[in-house]
Structure 1
Amino acid sequence: MSIRICILLILLWTAFGGCRSGRDASILPEYDFIPVETGRYTIYDVQETQYTRNTPPVQRTYRLKETIGPAYNDVTGQPAYRLLRYRRISDDQPWQPDSIWSVRLVNNEVIRTENGQDFVKLLYPASDGLIWNGNRYNVFKPNRYEARNVGQPFSVSGKEFRSTITVVAQDDSTLIGQTKRVDVYAHQIGMIYKERTYLQFCTDLPTCLGKNQIDYGIRQIYRIQTYGKE
């Protein structure tokens, strides 16, 4: 091999190999930011506020428990897990069945079926700025999901989780309303925080236009309380 060819190969390796290693530093290839394993459970403290015009906001607090049930094959023949959801107002009450969803890992996608609709909650390997269509299995219009703060710590109710991923499905605020859908996942734990905000602002009176006065809507915040395996 001539000296000229050797120099060319070294230059190519430096240009492509060096840049790739620097870019990949923020990529997390692990497949366990949403662990899928029978018996895993997570309990959330949920704070819900409902807004209606000319009435005080109505606040509700309760606890929600999600437990991953036994595996089964879905209609496509893919392995999936039932997600058993329970709810109660306080610790001295028994858990009451709330709903049954499902979760599955297909190739590099974590898919949750919620109320009969599939959503791609996370895409692996995760990296800052990674974008995908969370609605690609639905007939809805595409929904742009974006991964942010990959590998960064996140605190919930005084507890710090060292390595997390924030997924933003929507974060819009205009003169007529606000919509926010954000999930945070912790390494080897799963979802630790969720916010759902759907607000409609008053627009039919000159005195309220542009002042973010809430006409109606709802805000829900989920914070992890505990987790484990049964």
Structure 2
Amino acid sequence: MKINIIIMRKLSLVILVLLFISCKKEDVQLPKTNASVMTEILDHSPIYMFFRVEDNDTIAEVNAKNSISTTNWIFNIDKRLPLDLVIPEVKYLQKKKKQASHKNEAAINVFSYADSTKQNLAFLPFTEVQYKYDNNFSKFYIKEHADLYSAYNNLTINFNHENKITVDGNDISREELVDFIKDFSDFMSDGKITIIHLNFDKRLSFDHYIQDKILAWQLTSNTIQLSSYEFIYDLDKLPECGCKL
């Protein structure tokens, strides 16, 4: 009986998302990538962020009216939206959930996306992510807080407005990134934990953002961790450094 209830709840989740995505009036095009971080989540509330165009301006229309603070939140965000519209809304909802009078400390937040290889709905947790927005970049932040990071081997990964990748200012192809980071970490860490600091140009689409996040997730191991801080930057607002980001 218990197994049947769990199966029904899982099916209800998939059906709910698929119905909402296929509805003509409420269309959410989910990001696609080739790996599943999570495939199951129960006791959830859906949050939707729609892509709208009004008077030639792109708008993120948010529907969070069914969100319950004590549940896991699934963020279904249209892949066409740029990060400069998505992240402020995500930050607001994160804060709203944390400040709710009724909370469940075990509840998580996840982004939904489609695994194009396994042909299933998947989820990427981001509960612990804290966004540094607009005028922050990790290499400057690390320098300003050197006492917090001196015990680690720190690497800055930047996904620029063309979604090209640099590691500490050096160009790296997407295909080489995972092996490069793992080899570099083994060689340079000197026994320290390697912390990966992720930076994203805010002009990137949410689709690219999820693909980049999944790629970064593939770097993690017992000795390589992702920083809980993510930097969504405006290139025009960063301090002049005369260096390649």
Report the TM range for the smaller structure's normalisation.
Answer: under 0.3
Which structure's residues are more often strand, by fraction? 1
Which structure's residues are more often helix, by fraction? 2
Based on CA coordinates, which of the two structures has the bigger radius of gyration?
Answer: 1
